[in-house]
Structure 1
Amino acid sequence: MEMALPSRKTRLVSDESLEDWEHVGSGGFGDVYRVRHKDWGEDVAIKIPRTGVCTPLPLSSYKEAMLMDTVSFKFVLRVYGIYQGCPPGSRPGENQCGIVMEYMRWGSVESLQEVLSGPPPWPLAFRLAHQVAAGMNFLHAEKLVHQDLKPSNVLLSESLDARLADFGLSRVSTSAVASSREKTGEAGGTYKYMPPEAFNASYQPVRAFDIYSYGILLWSIVTGKEPYPAATNCLVELKIPLGDRPPSEDLEKMEVEGLKELVDLMKRCWDANPDKRPPFNKCLKETEQVFSKHKRAIHVAVDQVLERLDSPNGNHHSETSISNPRPPPQAPGRSFSPAVSGSERSMPIDEVDMPSPVTRHPPTQDVFRSSAKHMTDEEKEKFVDDNMATLIQKIKLVMKIAEELGNMVNPETYDNIATKETKQDQMRLLYRSVLHSGGKKVKAAFYDALKRNYQPLVEDLGGF
């Protein structure tokens, strides 16, 4: 069934406004392009369904656009309008329709896991868990069921904030009729994220469907892995109603502040009994409390991940590896290995290193200092002063270095630095407020932190 576009406030976007088409993804639904909107001066994403016809937008895609337009929320992907035109590769005069959405440069949680070969740093993992809960709570308050919540449908903004996407399967939950069944599941959705009751042919999706999916999504976020990697859809359909779930024993052994609470929430969300699953307004309160324990370290975590994503191949970095800032004091110090291969994502969780915690007083500080023993504190101070103009331009991990200075940076100053929009402004404030007034001892500590994170740069500038 197809539907022509009705007259309503949703804007139409035509080829005259667009340039620089770039194909960035495809799937069973169709193709996604990154396109420059000449009038807006911004890149947008255009999703064009694979319909086999060239004229009106299919009902499911039109519905998706209308839903996204209706549920404007900061953790839900924004829709800008409907595209009508001839995209690259189509025959002349072969008009097609699509959805024009905000472009998410950093992809999705799924693509982030692939780049990191594992989970993100704990502060970012907890923030993603909270933001997804907030977005889903909003959708459920609007009486909508998402019905395909999974890592590839949680997109990431410039600052790695979550945006819920792909509303092609969404239903109004008060009249949730599964009118368009997909190969992924009888009631829509993706097998590995579907609750046991959804495998019943007569099932009609309600809010409890999404809550179950959220529980599996939480597991994927904190482990960086796909659930049941070797299982076929038939096996998933057989085993999930029997009580099989992703393994959580190793997560429960980790001494990470707030993780125990998140694992407990995860298990309640994937409970076999839909009535026992907590509603999203309750999930939201719990994830907010967990994230609050790591909130101060989020700037460092985001900076480190962005450094990794900005590296030439997106899968390595010459200056620093991603680690978890500000864990609880008792957290074990396992190292994060960026060299873990993609195939290892299917291994048991204890065989893939999680990101390592780094406290504000690194336990290895004396080891690092011994490697710089050829320089006195006076020489380190002179190095910092002589090269400050260059350091302001080059240093991007400002918040990480501020963390490593520990109590030398008071909390108010730390928060002020974090509010600065650019890394240069952050570095200038760190110098003015901390280094300049702190004297030799602080500058020497800054030099040591600099050497840990930017050794090639230090050596290029004449340091040891």
Structure 2
Amino acid sequence: MATGASGGQPSVLSTLPKDLPLDFLKTITDQFSPERILGTGAFGTVYMGIAPDGQKIAVKKLAENTPIARDKVFTNEVQNIMALQLHHENVVKLVGYCHEAQKKVVQNNGRYIVADIVESLLCYEYLPQGNLQKNLFEVSCVMDWDTRFRIIKGICQGLAFLHSINIAHMDLKPENILLDDKMTPKIADFGLSRLFGQEQTRMRTQNVVGSYGYIAPEYLYRGEISTKSDIYSLGLLILETTTVEKNCSNNEPSATQFIKSVHDNWTDEHIVSQWPHLDGDRFQQIKVCIKIGLECVEIDRQKRPSIEEIVDRLNGLWSTGS
């Protein structure tokens, strides 16, 4: 294994993701068995893979009919995650990938022909607690506030890292935040991510794709992409995680009604009624998180705080175990 100049630590090159053979990924997922499915989304199906040494990994098999071209999704995920160069604890780790053609017999205009079918797969570290969506809204026991506050801080730290190297994620939502066995959050799913040039701060697109209830209005209506688009989605994530109320906005652009509900209802009195035994520090944390969340979802993107400002404000609050 190559080592750095100091001779002790592995170099970046030695820790980059590996190109894995398709047959190997078929074997470790039991031929993509339905029993191994961890989740399914717009970009494909995720399976649990168990390597020969017993290590578990998550294997995402990209679907053919993704919202954007499958090759583009694959390139986005591999290149943008590899652009991170060094692993950040709040960004999911890509451990391997596969882009391989295999000959298959397929039907074409009523005839059977042999064609090269390309399979695209991405392999990530396996995170046993699943996604934030499940942990917030699909389990009977509500996470305590200290855990939720650490998750909010971790998401913000991961996003600060992405923005510092000019990557806009463009699909932040609870389903794309994964949790390890210590409930450390990791930003996942870079299929829609954009890598900006060094002097570039925004771009335009005609092809607006993403999760309808989390898309920033300037992206939805004008195709404008910037890191402030992520801040809008982050604001919704912070509000959901703080209030444990779901943004049910799949048929409503940019979560307008959810934002209005939080703004109108989450007063000091309401916070106390929800958690009557909160101490002063935690009460202040909840108040500040709601305030930050509402600032993030300003329609005018210039009024939204930067991720650096958000992290500084959160770090200024007392936090158990931080």
Mark yes or no: TM-score above 0.5: yes
Distance 1:83 1:114, change over 3 A: same
- 2:90 maps to which of 54, 75, 78: 75
C-alpha distance in 1 between matches for 2:206 and 2:299: 25
- 1:19 maps to which of 28, 44, 47: 28
In structure 1, the partner of 2:159 is 136
Bigger RCO of structures 1 and 2 (CA < 8 A, at least 6 apart): 2
In structure 1, the partner of 2:9 is none
Q: Which runs of 5+ in 2 are unaligned?
A: 1-15, 31-35, 107-113, 273-282
5 Å-filtered alignment, 1:337-348, equals none
Mapped pair 1:250 → 2:266: yes
Identity level (%): 21
SS in 2 for 1:73: coil
SS in 1 for 2:224: coil
User: Whose strand fraction is larger, Structure 1's or Structure 2's?
Assistant: 2
State whether residues 119 and 221 of structure 1, in contact with CA within 8 Å, keep that contact through their aligned partners in structure 2: no
SS in 2 for 1:247: helix
State whether residues 57 and 98 of structure 1, in contact with CA within 8 Å, keep that contact through their aligned partners in structure 2: no
State whether residues 51 and 58 of structure 1, in contact with CA within 8 Å, keep that contact through their aligned partners in structure 2: no
Mapped pair 1:199 → 2:199: no
State whether residues 94 and 124 of structure 2, in contact with CA within 8 Å, keep that contact through their aligned partners in structure 1: yes
Task: Describe the superposition over 1:347-403 as per-residue Cα deviations: whole angstroms up to 9, x where unpaired.
Answer: xxxxxxxxxxxxxxxxxxxxxxxxxxxxxxxxxxxxxxxxxxxxxxxxxxxxxxxxx
In structure 2, the partner of 1:127 is 150
Distance 1:283 1:175, change over 3 A: closer
**TM-score, normalised on structure 2?**
0.74
Amino acid at match of 2:189: D
Q: 1:209 offset after TM fit, Å?
A: 0.7
5 Å-filtered alignment, 1:100-249, equals 100-117=123-140, 119-173=142-196, 174=200, 176-177=202-203, 181=207, 186=208, 188-200=209-221, 202-227=222-247, 229=248, 231=249, 233=251, 235-236=252-253, 240=256, 245-248=260-263, 249=265
C-alpha distance in 1 between matches for 2:260 and 2:141: 19
Distance 1:103 1:208, change over 3 A: same
In structure 1, the partner of 2:297 is 270
State whether residues 251 and 263 of structure 1, in contact with CA within 8 Å, keep that contact through their aligned partners in structure 2: no
Q: Which has the larger radius of gyration?
A: 1
C-alpha distance in 2 between matches for 1:196 and 1:63: 23
SS in 2 for 1:139: helix
Distance 1:61 1:16, change over 3 A: closer
Q: 1:59 offset after TM fit, Å?
A: 2.2
Q: Which runs of 5+ in 1 are unaligned?
A: 1-8, 299-464
5 Å-filtered alignment, 1:351-430, equals none
In structure 2, the partner of 1:28 is 42
SS in 1 for 2:91: coil
Q: 1:128 offset after TM fit, Å?
A: 0.6
State whether residues 206 and 223 of structure 2, in contact with CA within 8 Å, keep that contact through their aligned partners in structure 1: no
C-alpha distance in 1 between matches for 2:315 and 2:259: 28
**TM-score, normalised on structure 1?**
0.53
Report how many residues are paired: 272
